[in-house]
């Protein structure tokens, strides 16, 4: 299987993760006006699951290092399999709330608040799991990102000052809940892998490729419950049926599958990088997707169009704080 063998390459993989995780939501934005997010989300989950299998059977099954996927899966302990599967369930609940917040408040708000919060809590949890990296730089970067989250939340609140305050606060609250849940899924997956040795993993532990397939299975199975409930009791709008999903054309379904595949590529690269960078740094950099998503939301989708100069200044400060924070997280591993 393919394994990262240097810290520099691990950082490059984490940057790719950042780009993938910060960009997949553009596929939702592309179809949002004609396709409810609950319907989009089915295709998104299918995309994650199918892409995880493709990567496991290709990158995870070729080469002389590590155990091939079909050899690794049956030897994994039940405890590690359950952990990765549970991680998929927790992630799916978090991500479906995040996707709802993107539909309701936009990428420039849902990502910095939800994923920014996930980055902060997740780095702390993953550092406790495996203390790798300079803690002063690592948590200094986290502190700057906390400030960026607060600045973004205040900017969004000012932008919606003349609108329904309850509606604005609802999406902020949903983003916060999504972020808290998003922060705790990664250790379930990471603990099932031998982070110290991907070449010859300990018996019972999984390679990143196998862990990802089990994780994505947890997402797919739990979506039968979570998304079905959300279709009947949506956070916004009227209830929808499966009939509406199957009425969608191939092109609109393809957009959702593409979105899931983009996220899946980022996640696998993050898992592969965690062996060299450590889970705290790899997860923290991956969740730097907040910066990428905020860029898409502000610059491309014009989600803050017409805002005052004060709000625009706050957004600029947010970007600067995020960049400085991510820089410190990268430096923490040197």
Q: Distance of CA 330 to CAs 55, 169, 223, 288, 326, Å?
A: 27, 33, 34, 11, 6
Predicted model pTM = 0.86
Tell me: the pLDDT tens digits for 310-327? 999 999 999 999 899 888
Which distant-in-sequence residues (6+ apart) come within 8 Å of 249 by Cβ? none
The structural domains of the chain, with segments of one domain joined by +, span 7-331
CB atoms < 10 A from the CB of 32, how many?
A: 15
**DSSP secondary structure, 299-311, as one string:** IIS-TTTT--HHH
Beta carbons of 217 and 91 less than 8 angstroms apart: no
Per-residue pLDDT of the chain (334 residues; tens, 9 = 90+): 899 989 899 999 999 999 999 899 899 989 988 899 999 999 999 999 999 999 999 999 988 788 999 999 999 999 999 999 999 999 999 999 988 888 888 887 787 888 888 888 988 888 887 888 899 999 999 899 889 888 888 888 788 776 655 666 888 899 999 999 999 999 999 999 998 888 888 999 999 999 999 999 999 999 999 999 999 999 888 999 999 999 999 999 999 999 999 999 999 999 999 988 888 888 888 877 878 888 888 888 888 888 899 999 999 999 999 899 888 988 897 6
Tell me: the pLDDT tens digits for 127-148? 887 888 899 999 999 899 889 8
Tell me: the pLDDT tens digits for 236-283? 889 999 999 999 999 999 999 999 999 999 999 999 999 888 888 888
């Amino acid at each position: 299987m393919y394994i990262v063998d240097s810290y520099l390459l691990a950082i490059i993989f984490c940057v790719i993760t950042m780009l993938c995780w910060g960009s997949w939501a553009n596929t939702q934005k592309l179809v949002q006006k004609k396709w409810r997010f609950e319907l989009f989300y089915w295709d998104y989950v299918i995309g994650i699951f199918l892409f995880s299998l493709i990567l496991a059977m290709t990158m995870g099954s070729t080469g002389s290092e590590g155990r091939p996927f079909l050899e690794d899966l049956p030897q994994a302990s039940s405890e590690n399999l359950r952990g990765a599967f549970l991680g998929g369930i927790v992630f799916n609940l978090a991500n479906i709330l995040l996707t709802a917040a993107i539909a309701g408040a936009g990428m420039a708000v849902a990502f910095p608040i939800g994923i920014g919060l996930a980055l902060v809590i997740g780095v702390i949890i993953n550092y406790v799991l495996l203390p790798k990296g300079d803690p002063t730089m690592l948590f200094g970067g986290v502190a700057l990102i906390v400030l960026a989250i607060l600045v973004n939340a205040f900017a969004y609140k000012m932008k919606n000052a003349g609108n329904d305050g309850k509606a604005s606060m609802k999406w902020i609250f949903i983003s916060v809940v999504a972020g808290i849940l998003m922060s705790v899924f990664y250790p379930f997956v990471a603990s099932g892998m031998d982070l110290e040795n991907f070449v010859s993993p300990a018996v019972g532990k999984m390679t990143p490729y196998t862990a990802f397939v089990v994780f994505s299975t947890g997402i797919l199975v739990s979506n039968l419950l979570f998304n079905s409930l959300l279709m009947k009791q949506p956070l916004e709008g009227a209830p929808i049926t499966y009939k509406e999903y199957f009425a969608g054309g191939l092109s609109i379904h393809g957009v959702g599958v593409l979105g899931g595949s983009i996220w899946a590529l980022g996640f696998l690269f993050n898992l592969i990088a965690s062996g060299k960078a450590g889970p705290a740094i790899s997860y923290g950099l991956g969740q730097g997707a907040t910066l990428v998503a905020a860029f898409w939301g502000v610059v491309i989708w014009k989600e803050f169009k017409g805002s005052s100069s004060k709000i625009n200044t706050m957004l600029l400060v947010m970007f600067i704080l995020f960049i400085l924070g991510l820089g410190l997280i990268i430096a923490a591993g040197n």
